[in-house]
Amino acid sequence: MRQRETLDEETERFRARTKRSLEVFNHSREIAPFGVHSNYRVLDPYPIYGSRAEGSSLWDSDGNQYLDFNLGFGALVTGHSHPTLVEALKDRLEKGALLGVEFEDSDKLARILAQRFRVQGVRLSSTGAEATMHAVRLVRAFTGKNKILKFEGCYHGSSDAMLVSVKPKKERSGEPRHPTPVPASRGIPQESLANTIVAPFNDVEAVETIARENKDDLAGMILEPIPMNMGLVLPDKGFLEALRAICDQYNSLLLFDEVKTCGKYFGGAEERFGVPPDLKVMGKAIGGGFPLSAIGGKKEIIDAIVPGEVAHAGTFNSNPIAVTAGITTLTEILTEDAFSQASKKSDELGRGCNDITRDNHLQANVTFDGLSGIVSFNPKKIRNWRDFQESDVGTWFTYYIMMLNRGVIPAGTGPDEQWTVSVQHSKEDIAKHLEIFKEIAPKLRERGIEMQIVEAL
């Protein structure tokens, strides 16, 4: 009951400090569903609307300043409006934003990506969703097979083939170790489900069984090496290695969706775990806040992209603005040293959140690794989607709105999202985040069960 009262009080406080956002919301929803142009920006009672951002801070339409640890759902590891990037793009804009022919610096960016992320061939796109769509088609074309195995709870963009079992409800999901494919949206033909099979994350035996059942037509597996759309789920020791071996056994391709993880570690997930996929998809952070994605992988697979045979096209692919942003971001801003410093700050935030949740006997888990982490109001360590579903969404929402009201955007919008620490966050920003969490933690206490600490691997 007390928590309900706290949420009501905080909601009223939110309304009082975001009156302009409410005006924008009411006007916007007359023409745009829910007043936003991405479903992941929906927030109850209404979204905050931003007006500007700089460094580690964002200002809303009411002039409220927030320390931003959402950072465009992890896309802004550069932070907001990095001066080096701003200067480079001013110069580029004067020379043309879109040429209609291949931009001469595209090759330079492709080679930077190839070296940094250990791939032999590269094709550039604009968004992560585009890149995963093209990559899945490429996997099927190269192998001559049809079925793609994905993992329950993982999100790989909005193509029909991948909008399967993204956030499925238990009553529709079937057996935990042999999940039923569930469409994540109306409008997806039943036929689209036939070639997408679903497995539980972190269960090697279940994956082996499902792969064996489909071995004759299994084109490949796609996964986030660290799922970041059901919290932040670290793979069990040996899990990624086992997937590599299964794909090799059945002549299938292993595809890492690194739209997020390529911006959490300097060299991405392969550097972090030492497991090489056949293909990887990169996006978000590599563009410094501009739409940029890439498919990278073995040369013989990338070379299967042939006009008239295997499609890959886009008007805005490798446009000069995105390419210049990518080159500047990867060579001048997201350096190895910058990643190291930001990672130390994220670790500090994670350890601090651990201490606060433990000291206040919150029923919660804190998991952190690389540049990200998450506070999950869950009685146990999250290893897969079924575990995530045990999370207390009500407590999370109370936590989120309380942090907003005190000037901190603690993570992406939703209990399945994590924080990101940028290269522009300071030690003082981390201290402020922890100070606010420490202030509100006593009000979040419900059941005096001490948290289970999940340390970074």
Instruction: Show which residues are catalytic.
Output: 155, 257, 284
Tell me whether strands 178-179 and 408-409 are parallel, antiparallel or unpaired. unpaired
Query: What distance in Å separates the CA atoms of residue 283 and residue 264, rounded to the nearest whole number?
Result: 11
Closest CA to 450 of 348, 357, 338, 377: 357
If phi over 0 gives left and psi between -120 and 50 gives alpha, with beta otherwise, what is residue 455? Answer: beta
Structure tokens at 104: 């001469």
Length of the chain: 457
* 3-state SS, residue 353: helix
Secondary structure, 3-state, 249-299: HCCCEEEEEECCHHHCCCCHHHHHHCCCCCEEEECHHHHCCCCCEEEEECH
Closest CA to 454 of 233, 268, 200: 233
Buried-exposed string 347-362: b where 16+ CB fall within 10 A, e elsewhere = bbbbbbbbebbeebbb
Specify whether the CB–CB gap between 437 and 443 falls below 8 A. Answer: no
329: Cα separation from own chain's centroid: 18
How crowded is residue 293: how many other Cβ atoms within 10 Å of its Cβ? 29
Specify whether the CB–CB gap between 107 and 285 falls below 8 A. Answer: no
Write the CA distances from 256 to 37, 149, 279, 365, integer angstroms: 27, 12, 6, 26
**Any idea what DSSP says for residue 330?**
I
216 by Cβ neighbours in 10 Å (0-12 / 13-18 / 19+) ranks as: exposed
Element (H, E) at 59: strand 57-60
Write the CA distances from 161 to 76, 140, 149, 181, 196, integer angstroms: 28, 12, 11, 11, 7
* 3-state SS, residue 215: helix
**Any idea what DSSP says for residue 181?**
P
| Strand order, beta sheet including 408-409 | 50-54, 57-60, 65-68, 408-409
